[in-house]
Structure 1
Amino acid sequence: MGDWSTADMPDQRGRRIVVTGANSGLGEQTARALGRAGAEVVLACRNVAKAQRVADEIGENATVAALDLADLTSVRAFADGFEGADVLINNAGVMALPLGRTADGFEMQIGTNFLGHFALTGLVLDRIGERVVTLSSLAHNVARLDIDDLNWDRRKYNRWVAYGDSKIADLMMALELAERLEKAGSSTISVAAHPGYAATELQTRTESLVDWVMKLGNATPLAQSAADGALPTLYAAAAPEAVNGKFYGPAQFGGLRGAPTEAGYRSVADDAAVRGRLWSTAEELTGVSFDI
């Protein structure tokens, strides 16, 4: 994999790629890079006006679609009008918010980051021609996932653990989907990625003093730009060498920064019984079943 960068990305002309949350941060940089490489890019976003400004700068090969992952009605509406794509990139997310609820009553982070993307993927999978890329995070290491209490109805809420829960759930979804696709003999693959420590707006929206700490951290040499943080996602989405069921992240400083490489993760994500329970619970909560 070496020092893979956007210069190594193949020509993307003829490919249609959906990027959720592409109006800012990692999603924006992912969409811009794919657009420069010639892909037809769909920016699937809650903030349509902000996404349109990004799409206008990318050019005529970029379009905007309304998608609020914190509202399953919006997810279903997007899926109903979806005409298909080569790649779906499950990028959108919120981080370390105070306790809040989605339109469907889910804890905001698990609801947006995981359940929204789970429902979206299940509803459009039959129209994804090549691969699904799902973003996790190094924060999956702090997760204390309780499948019987995904929505923090009984536990005392901890915003960072809740974020970690959502990100290990995303990783487990990607790995479980990869296994199911392979068993079904599908040519579609599922790949996971994480950005390391990338300086983005996401880290300054916790509505707490942590915002100031993160702003200081973003100015240190450990933090990389959003464009560099998008490289593992771009590798997972565009590199012919990307492998079904693999997890890609930065190679240096314990995964904080650098060119993409295969990343390690907590062993619980490989526990088939736990993944199966999470999958079944997500199907029950969202009302979405995968036709694989």
Structure 2
Amino acid sequence: MTKWTAADIADQQGRTFVVTGANSGLGEVAARALAKAGAHVVLACRDTTKGDAVARTIGDNAEVRRLDLADLASVRDFAAGIGSVDVLVNNAGVMAVPRRKTVDGFEMQIGTNHLGHFALTGLLLAKITDRIVTMSSTAHKMGSIDLDDLNWENRKYNRWSAYGQSKLANLLFTYELQRRLAAAGSSVKAVAAHPGYASTNLQAHTESVQDKLMAVGNRIFAQSAEMGALPMLYAAAVPDVAGGSYLGPDGLFEQRGHPKVVGSNEKSRDEKTAGALWSLSENLTGVEYTFA
């Protein structure tokens, strides 16, 4: 796995990838790399104008479909229009945004980063032939799952704690999904990844002075989006990745470098919390998983 790069992606001819949030940042980088390797890539974007601009530069291997993860009706419409998929990459997300709600009344970060992708994966599961890759973050370490107040209705809202909760939820979801797939005898795998500290526009939407501070950090400390996308690409395209793996950079504190299997904290491995979060997510989204 040492020094693996996007140039090492095997031929992906005949394979279809859905990448959420592929109109910019890590998703755009991943879509370009997968299409270059021959894959057909569906750019699942809320902003289809930006998505179309990216797709035009990629060429015939890219198509754009509208998907707003903060609107379950949009998620259902998107899923209904998709055929067979080899790999679903749950990449899109928001970080440290001010308190606001999704169309369905969820806190925006848990609603977009976890619940939207939970619903999308469940609705597409029967169409997925290979694997589901979900993006988490080292920020999962500062998260806690409050099953009684997942949407911050009774707590004082803290944007970073809400982000950490959503990224912890991504890992709990991935590990629980893998357990359920394996129990059902499915060959489909669930894998997670994180980009380390990568320079993207994710850090530009806090609508606070933190945007300026993080812009400085991006210039001085962050690795490129091309490097940050490598763990996701490895998780999505390398054949022998094990289900339940978590990929991240191999450098100091997993902030930069080439992809390797990394660990996650004890909270992310709590099977009781994972099962309870799964049930709550099904209830909130109205999407119940069926395992063949």
Aligned AA (2:70): A
Q: CA deviation at 1:183?
A: 1.0
Q: Give the total of aligned pairs.
A: 291
Aligned to 1:149: 149
Provide the rounded CA distance (Å) in 1 between the counterparts of 2:75 and 2:17: 17
Question: Residue 256 of structure 1 corresponds to which residue in structure 2?
Answer: 255
Please give the alpha-carbon distance, in whole angstroms, between the structure 2 residues aligned to 1:9 and 1:79.
27
Partner SS for 2:141: helix
In the alignment, structure 1 residue 246 sits paired with structure 2 residue 265: no
User: What is aligned with 1:235?
Assistant: 234
Query: Which residue does 1:95 correspond to in 2?
Result: 95
- Residue of structure 2 in register with 1:224 after alignment: 223
Contact 2:43 2:64 in 1 (8 A): yes
Query: Residue 181 of structure 1 aligns to which amino acid in structure 2?
Result: L
Instruction: Give secondary structure in 1 for the equivalent of 2:250.
Output: strand
Output the CA distance in 2 between the equivalents of 1:142 and 1:245: 21
Amino acid at match of 1:20: T
Shift of 1:241: 2.2
The amino acid that maps onto 2:280 is T
Q: After superposition, give the CA deviation of every residue in 1:218-255 in whole Å (9 maximum; x if it has no partner).
A: 011x3111111000000000011211001000010110
CA distance in 2, matches of 1:208, 1:142: 20
Amino acid at match of 2:240: E
Residue equivalent to 1:291: 290
> Equivalent residue of 2:118, what SS?
helix
Q: How does 1:8-157 map to 2 (within 5 A)?
A: 8-157=8-157
Letter paired with 2:10: P
- Indicate the SS of the match to 2:258: strand
Q: List per-residue Cα deviations over 1:163-204 (Å, max 9, x = no partner).
A: 010011011111110111011110100000000000000101
| Contiguous gaps of at least 5 residues in structure 2 | none
One-letter amino acid of the structure 1 residue matched with residue 83 of structure 2 = E
Q: Distance in 2 between matches of 1:42 and 1:121?
A: 15
Output the aligned Cα RMSD: 0.7
Q: How far off its partner does 1:79 sit?
A: 1.1
Structure 1: where are the runs of 5+ without partners?
A: none
SS in 2 for 1:257: coil
- Equivalent residue letter for 1:127: K
AA partner of residue 192 (structure 1): A
In 2: Cα distance, 1:81 partner to 1:263 partner: 35
Normalised by the length of structure 1, the TM-score is 0.99
In 1, Cα distance between equivalents of 2:82 and 2:58 = 21
**Structure 1 residue ranges, 4+ long, deviating more than 4 angstroms after superposition:** none
Residue 63 of structure 1 aligns to a residue whose secondary structure is strand
Secondary structure of 1:219's counterpart equals: helix
Residues 144 and 168 in structure 2, CA contact (< 8 A), matched pair in contact too? no
Deviation at 1:7, TM superposition (A): 1.8
**Partner Cα distance (1:84, 1:160) in 2:** 36
1:95-132 Cα shifts (integer Å, max 9, x gaps): 10000000000000000000000000000100001000
Q: What is the CA–CA distance in structure 2 between the aligned matches of 1:136 and 1:82, rounded to whole Å? A: 24
Larger deviation, residues 230-239 vs 267-276: 267-276
Q: Which residue of 2 aligns with 1:267?
A: 266
Report which stretch shifted further, 77-86 or 25-34. 77-86
SS of structure 2 residue aligned to 1:87? strand
Alignment partners' CA distance in 2, 1:253 and 1:103: 39
* Distance across 1 between alignment mates of 2:288 and 2:99: 28
Counterpart-to-counterpart distance in 2, 1:32 and 1:252: 24
Residue correspondence of structure 1 range 196-235 to structure 2 within 5 A: 196-220=196-220, 222-235=221-234
Seq. identity, % = 58
AA paired with 2:235? A
* Equivalent residue letter for 1:209: V
1:276 equivalent to 2:272? Answer no
Normalising by structure 2, what TM-score?
0.99
Amino acid in structure 2 at the alignment position of 1:216: V
**Deviates further, 62-71 or 266-275:** 266-275
Deviation, 1:144, is 2.3
In 2, Cα distance between equivalents of 1:103 and 1:185: 36
Q: How much has 1:258 moved relative to structure 2?
A: 0.2
